[in-house]
Amino acid sequence: MSAALQREAARPLQRPAPVETPPAVPAAVREGSISFRGVSKTYVSPKGEVGALKGVDVEVPVGGVFGVIGRSGAGKSSLLRLVNRLERPTLGHVLVDGADVGKLGDAELVALRRRVGMIFQHFNLLSAKTVAENVALPLVVARRPRAEIEARVAETLALVGLTDKRDVYPRRLSGGQKQRVGIARALAGRPKILLCDEATSALDPETTQSILSLLRDINRRLGITIMLITHEMSVIREICDEVLVLETGEVAEAGPVWRVFGDPQHPATQALLRPLSQGLPEDIAARLRPEPPAAGGEAIVEIALKGTAEPDLSAIADGLGARARLLSASADRIGGHTQGRLLAGLRVGPRSVPDLSGLAHETKVLGYVAADA
């Protein structure tokens, strides 16, 4: 054996590095599908590594409106930016229409980004271009024929209600109008997916409502998959079918909005929902005591409606019994399910906690108030 072969034989065996195998993709994948499979994202800073996302597994419903919410630093923006590969995952896979985004070549990535529209918090319009020119920009970059560009600009401006603003410059538009231009621009290339990065957080409440209504209308008319991030639970309640709650980069809770809102399990979800909860009226809270008063009084009963059908008020009234008083009520209808609560005052007695089985999710006594209070 030669000296070279002897040296090679004596060299310790090197095990090949493990190769991460992409997940299998179903044969028939619908356009507009987004899947996150074990996704983690780590940033390197001067102070060390920062884990923005940790093992996120979630499927975005095709043709639905999917909301991602969490407190600042929860990883919302990082997750959104993985879809069109503005960021790459450190671990895991992001599948769009069944294709692993992290493995796309340059030409494939360009094609992907033309199928994925994006609207931004601060509109990102070019001030030196008119409304029509801003909307046309992605089509101009894609070198579409002039006639096609003109037709598509007119179509999208009509869709967002800005036909009369086509020759106006952004400086003359309100915030809501600017966002409508941003939506029209994102739709110009006929995308199957629309990403919304805090699209309403720079707007006043009235304008926010109009933009959310527009997005919902676009979703229903075009069947486009919408994925939006927000820090406002009211936005999720208004427009989304399903929601993902992120907490420090991890999935805290996910599912249909009606279920997550109606029965939040994670402390992060409960904290985010707290501003939407109606507290005990101040005048009652000030008089509330933990024990029944000696001289009679009322039990303050909370009747929780969580994911129920439309409440049968007549049956609830019968269950509460005579001399029950309705003190306050708050309820929403989310995804065909009623969420909320009723507060009733019941005369203290053996049936201070009424049996409302089948009529409410839960019934409990919060405390007591004296009769002469």
282 pLDDT band, cuts 50/70/90, is confident
- If one compares 96 and 360, the residue with the highest pLDDT of the two is 96
Q: Are 198 and 231 in contact (CB under 8 A)?
A: yes
Distance of alpha carbon 87 from alpha carbon 74, whole angstroms: 16
Dihedral pair phi/psi, residue 356, rounded to 5°: -115, 35
DSSP 137: H
Give the per-residue pLDDT at 139.
95
Q: What is the pLDDT of residue 266?
A: 93
The DSSP H or E segment spanning 150 is helix 146-159
CA distance 156 to 139: 12
- Closest Cα to residue 228, out of 198, 193, 262? 198
> At residue 352, does pLDDT exceed 70?
no
Q: Which CATH class is domain 62-73+106-275?
A: alpha beta
* Arithmetic mean of pLDDT, 153-170: 96
Average pLDDT on 65-75 reads 93
Residue 48 or 228, more confident:
228
pLDDT, mean over the chain: 85
Does residue 91 have a pLDDT over 80?
A: yes
Summarised one tens digit per residue, pLDDT across range 175-195 is: 999 999 999 999 999 999 999
Q: Which fold has domain 282-370?
A: Alpha-Beta Plaits (3.30.70)
- Please give the Cα distance from 181 to 191 (Å, whole number): 16
Contact indicator for 341, 331 with CB cutoff of 8 Å: yes
- Strands, E assignment, 120-233: 193-197, 225-230
Each residue's pLDDT tens digit, 359-370: 777 788 888 888
CA-closest candidate to residue 189, choices 153, 146, 228, 226 = 153
What was the pLDDT predicted at 143? 93
Q: What pTM was computed for the model?
A: 0.80
Whether 349 has a pLDDT exceeding 80, the answer reads: no
Which one is predicted more confidently, 48 or 30?
A: 48
> What stretch(es) of the chain map to CATH 3.30.70.260?
282-370
Residue 144: its pLDDT value, please?
A: 94
Residue intervals of the chain classified under CATH 3.40.50.300 are: 62-73+106-275
**Res 3: pLDDT:** 52
Q: How confident is the model at residue 28 (pLDDT cuts 50, 70, 90)?
A: low
Note whether 178 and 123 are within 8 A (CB): yes
Q: How far is CA 39 from CA 140, 151, 215, 249, in A?
A: 34, 40, 27, 10
pLDDT of amino acid 350: 53
Which run of H or E residues covers position 331? Answer: strand 325-334
pLDDT of residue 366: 85
Spacing of C-alpha 178 from chain mean position: 22
Asked which of 5-9, 86-90, 289-293 is least confident by mean pLDDT, the reply is 5-9
pLDDT in tens, 115-147: 999 998 888 999 999 999 999 999 999 999 999
Q: Comparing C-alpha atoms, which of 122, 132, 213, 229 is closest to residue 175?
A: 122
pLDDT value of position 189:
93
Q: Taking each helix axis from N to C terminus, what angle separates 175-187 and 146-159, rounded to the nearest 10 degrees?
A: 130
The amino acid that residue 181 corresponds to is: V
φ, ψ at 281 (rounded to 5°): -50, 140
Q: Residue 41 pLDDT more than 60?
A: yes
For 225-277, what is each residue's pLDDT tens digit?
Answer: 999 999 888 899 999 999 999 999 999 999 999 889 888 899 999 899 888 77
Between residues 287 and 12, the one the model is more confident about: 287
Please provide the distance, in angstroms rounded to a whole number, between the alpha carbons at the two ends of the chain.
Answer: 104
